Amino acid sequence: MIESVLVDGREQKNDRMGSVWRQPIIVSPGHDRFEIHYTGLDFTAPKEVRFKYRLDGRDTAWTEAGDTRIAYYSEVPPGHYQFRVTACNEDGVWNDSGSVL
């Protein structure tokens, strides 16, 4: 689940329903770094959750993030992008739908 988005350290407000972000995040020119905070909802073994993410339109492959819960980006060219994150539980079972922004 995507929890928050920060652009140059400032949290971006968004109307969301659960893990679904209803509006795009618009990064204005002159802002060169952003971070996306996410988590996995596993209450039996939360420390065992593993993540992978990608920014469609920029990343050519998934980034294996391990147990890291923040994706960092900088110097992203102007354009339209879709961020996707998914997680697997302690049994190695991946969530097929993940979360999208």
- Amino acid making up residue 53: Y
pTM of the predicted protein model:
0.86
Task: Name which residue leads in pLDDT, 26 or 64.
Answer: 64
Going by C-alpha positions, the residue among 4, 1, 83 that lies closest to residue 46 is 1
Q: Which pLDDT band, with edges at 50, 70 and 90, does 15 fall under?
A: low
- In angstroms, how far is CA 21 from the centroid of its own chain? 11
Q: What's the mean pLDDT in 38-52?
A: 85
Domain CATH number, residue 58: 2.60.40.10
Residue 55: domain span: 2-100
Task: Name which residue leads in pLDDT, 32 or 9.
Answer: 9
Task: Name which residue leads in pLDDT, 15 or 52.
Answer: 52
Is the pLDDT at 63 greater than 90? The verdict is yes
CA–CA separation, 72 and 36 (whole Å): 7
* Tally of domains within the chain: 1
Question: Hey, how many other C-beta atoms are within 10 angstroms of the C-beta on 12?
Answer: 15
CA–CA separation, 101 and 96 (whole Å): 16
Q: Which pLDDT band, with edges at 50, 70 and 90, does 21 fall under?
A: low
- Predicted local confidence at residue 86, as pLDDT: 94
65: left (phi over 0), alpha (psi -120 to 50) or beta: alpha
